[in-house]
Structure 1
Amino acid sequence: MTCPRCDTVVVTFPVLEALRAHAPEQAAAASICPHCLAVDAVDGGGVADTDEDAATAGDAAPEFDRVHESFPSGDGGVAFALLIGTLPSIALNKASARALREHAEREGVDTALAFDRLIEAVREAELVPGFDLERRVHQLDSLLDGH
């Protein structure tokens, strides 16, 4: 499956039921582009069965390291990927962004550090998002932390 914006092969991942309200189109599966960071809904056939036992799933784990070597893995990585998806319209997605950041952090993700590493990758032209990542992360912090 490729990104409709830049034609790069995307990383697909199942969306936990608890996070579906915050996923694009409330989908059970989503994708993130390892080039432009676009996050989109995926129709049902794009991801391994989410009910499959993790021990037998093997290669079914999302390859978030294709986005960046420091990208969080597991459920925290899923929440972080969805959080990135809120950034292009952060003012409209404040509640989802808050819930996703909190979920990622409960799963052990240092979201500030993860964003810093992605911003550095943008500076080094490893990633070319379709939005100003650094500015959107600053807006995210201002919206969620600036009571």
Structure 2
Amino acid sequence: MECPDCTVELVAFTVPPEYRDHLPGSEPGAGLCPHCLSFEAVTDPPAETPDFDRVGEAFPTAPDAALPLALLVGLLSNLALYRSEIAALLEAVERAGTDPLLVLDRLDRDESIETDLDLTGRRTQLEQLL
């Protein structure tokens, strides 16, 4: 599946049951664009483990950290609407041993990523959530 914004292939994955309540809609999967960080619902997600290496060197590859972080990045554009969901995802990423704020800093500096998200501004807002 391609990103509708930049036509790069999405990193698609099945959303684990414990995170489905954090997302709008009822689709069983999601996809994160490794180029623009666009987030899309996926109705038929792949069964194999997603290749989060494509999202940049800073992005974790272990599924227990990568999946909630991908969902968190997907919800960042609507921080006010999904405040409690984002807070829960932040905690899940931290429990998995990854610093989500550090990852956002590094994604912001990654020259291969061209996103409309203000990652620096969102990071500041996320610090206030913690």
TM-score normalized with structure 1 length: 0.82
Q: What is the match of residue 116 of structure 2? A: 130
Q: What is the match of residue 64 of structure 1? A: 52
Distance in 2, Cα, partners of 1:61 & 1:129? 24
Letter in 2 for 1:71: F
Q: Indicate whether 1:5 and 2:5 are aligned.
A: yes
Distance in 1, Cα, partners of 2:26 & 2:82? 13
Letter in 2 for 1:14: T
| Shift in Å, 1:70 | 2.3
Aligned pairs for 1:77-116 (under 5 A) are 77-116=66-105
Report if the CA contact (8 A) 2:10-2:33 is conserved. Answer: yes
Q: Secondary structure at the match of 1:92?
A: coil
Report if the CA contact (8 A) 1:2-1:9 is conserved. Answer: yes
Report if the CA contact (8 A) 1:10-1:33 is conserved. Answer: yes
Q: Secondary structure at the match of 1:30?
A: strand
Q: Secondary structure at the match of 2:98?
A: coil
Provide runs of 4+ in structure 1 moved above 3 Å. Answer: none
- C-alpha change, 1:26 and 1:109, in structure 2 (3 Å) is farther
Q: What is the match of residue 54 of structure 1? A: none
Aligned length in residues: 129
Distance in 1, Cα, partners of 2:102 & 2:31? 22
Report if the CA contact (8 A) 1:10-1:32 is conserved. Answer: yes
Structure 1 spans left out of the alignment, 5+ residues: 49-59
Larger radius of gyration: 1
Q: Equivalent of 2:125, from 139, 142, 147?
A: 139
Percent same amino acid among aligned pairs? 40
Distance in 1, Cα, partners of 2:122 & 2:73? 9
Pairwise CA RMSD: 1.3
